[in-house]
Each structure stands twice: as structure tokens, then as C-alpha cells.
Structure 1
Amino acid sequence: MDKQNPSAPPCAQPRIPRGITHINVRHTTRFTVIGNHLAQHPELSGLAIGLAVHIQSLPTGARADIKTLAARFPEGETRIAAVLRELETHGYLARTRERLPSGRVVTHTVSYNRPRGADAQEPRPTTPQSRPAPTPTLTPAPAPAPAPVGPDAKVPPSPAADTHPKNPPPAPEPHTHDSAADRTATALLASLHRDDPRLLLAERDVRRLAPAVAAWLDRGAAPEAVRRTLTASLPEAPLRHPAGLLAHRLAELLPPPLPTAPATRAAVRPLPLQNCDGCDRAFRAPAPGRCRDCRSDLLEAA
């Protein structure tokens, strides 16, 4: 009775589930509907998806600028700015600069719960029974170009100048908003197609890139120098995204701020020459009179 039967079937092992198990509770208040095209986006970074969800959950009129978001999340302003541009690239966000009647320039942010454009990507299927996965459309952008040296320097072309980087550098912005500099930057960008017809920009791209050009002007760069940097050694292949190429060059080739000029000491002018009333000898004094020797003789005689 104490011997085991070797022919007895083994006990069934418990089945361990694989993958994630969902426990869902239906929300009736304080919830936001998020599409899987965002939650499962094949190209957006995790930070971009999270920030997009946060922005879509905000009420209309809430502030969603870089400083406000940087104060809300542990990421700094530079990382937040890069993520906002990432969301703009994929159609989930649009930002325009508007001038108030008071003259102050503000940024108006529009959030889209579904990306704009007919080529919005759907998430890949998670099971074989799901619909076939669409082929993701990669958005091309420029590769980094070396900084030009001197007024006649050329930016060498790059074969990858038409592909977007995964983490584009933050766009420069001027320290102070100058209406004259804004007009100069806008006119410069709008006229780049005269140098190369492929650089004909949409009005939205001109408004988006104008602050970066104004940052160059704020650092002392001449408008003609900015134009040469943006149009030098463009790739021979068709430019599918000229605005992305210009944005990359404006960020990567930003010149350093001009050094502060040292304060110059005011030149001390010598006193004018006067002729002594006693000995007719020339001496320096603020007004006519006697020289020091003649004044000493008068004091001794007294």
C-alpha cells in the first residue's frame, strides 16, 4: 500500500497566464478618452505619450506652456520643449504665436485628440485575429550639419539630411521679444525660396521658425549671415520637409552670445593752459590767474 504506482498519470500542473491581465473598472466621472493611436503609437516616446495624455485631460483655457509643464513634471524645460515639438510633428499639437492688443506676444496651444492628416497611424494589432498592421510612415528630417566658419564657409551636404532625428534639439528662442526682430525673421524665412525654390515655406512653418531666427538676431548675427547658414550646401535630393531641415540648422548651428563689452573709462581731459598774470608763464588751471610760484611769492611777501 505504501508503494507508488509508476504508471499513474502525473497531477495536472496549474496553468500560469502569460502576458498582462486587465482588471478594468468603469469610470463614470473625471476620466479622459484616449485613442489607441496615441497610447500605442509606434514612434512617439513614452514621455511624449504621457504628456499628450496630460494635455488632453486639461480643461479648455488651462495653461500648457513650457514653463507651466516644467513646473508640473520633473523634466526640465529643455526636455519638455523637445517633447512638445515631437507632438507637433505627429499632429497631436499645434502652437501659434499671437500678439495681444497690448503688444504682448503669447503662444496659443491647440490639442488634437486624434492626429491631424489623413495618414494618421493606427496601433499594431495585438492578436492574430485583429486587423493587419499598417506599415508605419516614417517622417524624414535633416541630419546634423557642421557649423560654418567664416562668412564664406559652406555647410557640406549630408545624405541623411531629410530624416527627422528621434530627439530633435530644442528650438532657440530670443531672450526678449522685439517686434522689429520678429518682422525681420518672418521676412527672412518667407523669402528663402528666392535662394532655392524648394525652401518655399507654409505660413504656419514661418510663424513656428520665426522665434528661432529671432534668437540668432538677438545674439548679434546679421540677417544675411542667417540666410547663408540656412541655404548653404543644401542636399541635391528633393526636400520633402524643408521646414524640418531649417529647424535643425537653426538649433544645431546657433552661435554663442556676444561677449559683453568691457566698460570703458572716460578719458580725463587736462586743464587748459593759462598765462600767469605775474610772470606771464604758461601753467594749467581751470581759470586765468597766477601760477603756483607767483602765489607763493605773494604769500611770503604778506
Structure 2
Amino acid sequence: MATTELTPAVPAYAPPMARPGYGKKSAPDQAPRRAGDFAHLPEREASVAAHIDRLPDGAAVDIKTLARELAAYGQQAVAKALENLSKAGHLRRFREQIGTQWVTRTHFSRTARDDAWWNHYLKHDTAPPPARTASRTEAYEALAAVGRTAPRMTLSAAECAQLEPLATEWLARGATREQLIAALTGGLPEQVHSPGALARRRLTDKLPPEQPVRPSTRIMECTACGVPGYPEALPGGLCRQCRGEERRLETPDKADAVRAQAARVRAGIRTRPSALPHPAPHPAPSALVR
């Protein structure tokens, strides 16, 4: 009688999860997952990025956990890979306030983003609006619709383009499209000689107040060392020291000090007497300029 060899079922992979509030958080507005998402990265960085991309939100993505999960790389290699992924625009670390507690989350984007995108996301928790193309903006569409409500206020294409920045500011301050149109069409005089001029005056005089700025509950952290800072001071998600700028800035100063010391030594040699009763002792190594 033949025997059937049973293969034990492989349990489904369950990634380690971080404490509530910590861990990975997927950035919004990412492109669909494709085979070559990380082909532009070196092999190590692509491997780490692909692993993080597969993890669910809330998964632990600290250096120690990732090093345990990725058999090919140790902690130092993982730390360097995360630093390079930050430079490439795939992740940032934000320190966020949840209630009275501050937590650190790693925000990951399959689609590489520039600093301006991450800075907008940090402040608003949403992806920035797409760059303007040949399509009409919401502000332009609102201005173009004014003539359908009040034919006397019909604006030309050129006038809509000129007034678009003002209308955009209205919308940015919380006004709706309907409120903007109402401000331009309500209480009109019997004759409107210049719709563009009247619209400009109304958009300027009736501009809504700025929205109050809410206290920020998120700040950026350096991906490499964790020091908090304004996003403008952390290009690529890294502080100046981790970018290596402080070391480069210190080099000229040290070189100047060495040159000055060498000049003093040469001057001392030129003024030293030709004969000495005893040889001068060598200076201790600790006294040398390094």
C-alpha cells in the first residue's frame, strides 16, 4: 500500500506590528503597485523598499525589526538604506501628537516625492493639489460661471485669467464656489460698464478673512538620527549633520588652524639660536595640532 507524504502547511506571514500609533503609515495618492517601482534604486535600497511597501499600516519598521525580518542585511545596512530611501523621496519620519502623547511614525510612499510634496503633506495630512496644466482650475471655472447667474457680469477669458489669483485666494480662505459667485452677482447696479473692473473691486474689498492657523500636531524628524526640525531644515529628510555638511564646514577651519600652527613653527625655527647647550625635547604627541 502506497504511503502519501504530507507536507505541513506553511503558516501565513504575519509581520511584527508596532505599538498603537507607531509604525508604518502609507502616504496618500500613490501610483498602483508595479513590478519596476524601485528599479531606479540600488539593490539593497530596492529590497528594503519593496519589503516596507508590502507591509500593512501599523507594521514595525524600526531598524532592529527590519534587520530581523530581512536576512540579507544587518542593522547598519538597514539604517543606511532607510537614509538613502529618505533622500530618494520614498519615506519621511514625522513626530505626531496623539492626545497628550507624542509618537513617531514612518510615512512611506511607493511613488518618490520631492521635499515640497512631503512638506505639504506634513502640514495638511493630504497630498498637494496636482500642478496646474492646460485644464481650468476651480477658481477659473467659478469666474466663467458668473455670467450664467448675472449676464451683465459676463467675464471674458482674459478677465477670468487676470482675476484667477484673487478667486483662488477666496477658495483658499474657505469660501465656496457658490459664495464667490454670489459676491460677484449680488446687488448689481442697473448698468455694469466694466464687469472685469467691478469683479476685481468686489473680490478685493470682500476678501474673506484668513483661516485661523491650527497648532501643528506634527513635526518632521531626521530619518537617520531622529532629531526634530522644520522641514525646510531637513531636505531629503536629513539634518545637516547627517547630510555631512557640518563636517565639510569644519574642514576649512581645521586646515586654517594647521597652516597657522605650521607658520608659527617655521617662524620659531628661523629665530632659534644656532647652538643649544642641550637638545630641545620633542613635544608630546598630545600637544600636536590634529
Q: TM-score, normalised by structure 1?
A: 0.29
* Structure with greater helix percent: 2
Q: 1 or 2 for the larger relative contact order (CA 8 Å, sep ≥6)? A: 2
